[in-house]
Amino acid sequence: MELFLEHYKSELTNTLIVSVILLIIRFLSKTLVRKIGRKNGVNEPRIRLIGRYVTVTLFILFTLIEAYILGAELKDLTVIFSSLFAVIGIALFAIWSILSNVTTGIIMFFSFPYKVGDKIKIHDKDYPIEAIIEDIRAFQLHLRLDNGNLVTYPNNLILQKAVTLVEKDAIEDYEETF
């Protein structure tokens, strides 16, 4: 055991340093996401979802750095990651719609001007919608129409259409009528 520790002392030290730095970055990032989410009135499940995205991204970064620390050559890592991304890219091309909805969900977390409870009007040429935002999820918005029907609207479409705020926090008025 002592021989192992002596032989890999620098690698273990570097691993510990990188782990601590990435854990601090993860903590600060998740705290920042939480603050931004609460400031913008985002519901707690969406805040946790974005926090998971941050954790996964940092884990991938940690894996890459750790492989380099343990002696993998940079050219070998490039081949592995380019092959991995090629396979993932081909697989994700088939589900690009889902991926675009998730990406839009992340964008909406930071810059969507409407929140749960607001009544909005989506100016869609084929199917205009005026409804209350009931929930904002990773893939779609849940919109409640005036007649009580629930409409799920894809996140990627909400950024492509003109949207008007009809009434702020209209859900309170809606709940009082029923």
The CATH classification number of 112-177 equals 2.30.30.520
Per-residue model confidence (pLDDT) at position 71: 82
Domains of the chain, by residue range, sit at: 2-94, 112-177
What does the alpha-carbon distance between residue 125 and residue 72 come to, in Å, rounded to a whole number? 55
pTM of the model: 0.57
Tokens 């021989």: give the residue.
Answer: 3
The predicted-structure confidence for 53-101, as pLDDT tens digits, reads as follows 899 989 988 988 888 888 888 788 788 878 877 887 777 676 777 778 8
Confidence band (pLDDT; 50, 70, 90) for 175? low
Alpha-carbon separation of residue 65 from 7, 73, 173 (angstroms): 20, 11, 53
Rg of the Cα atoms in the chain: 22
Q: What CATH architecture does domain 2-94 belong to?
A: Orthogonal Bundle (1.10)
- What confidence tens digit (pLDDT) does each residue in 16-26 have? 999 999 999 99
What is the pLDDT averaged over residues 39-59? Answer: 87
CA distances from 100 to 55, 108, 117, 128 (A): 20, 12, 24, 22
Is the per-residue pLDDT at 41 higher than 90? no
User: Is 60 exceeded by the pLDDT of residue 1?
Assistant: yes
pLDDT digits (tens, 9 = 90+) for 113-151: 888 889 999 998 888 999 999 988 888 889 999 999 999
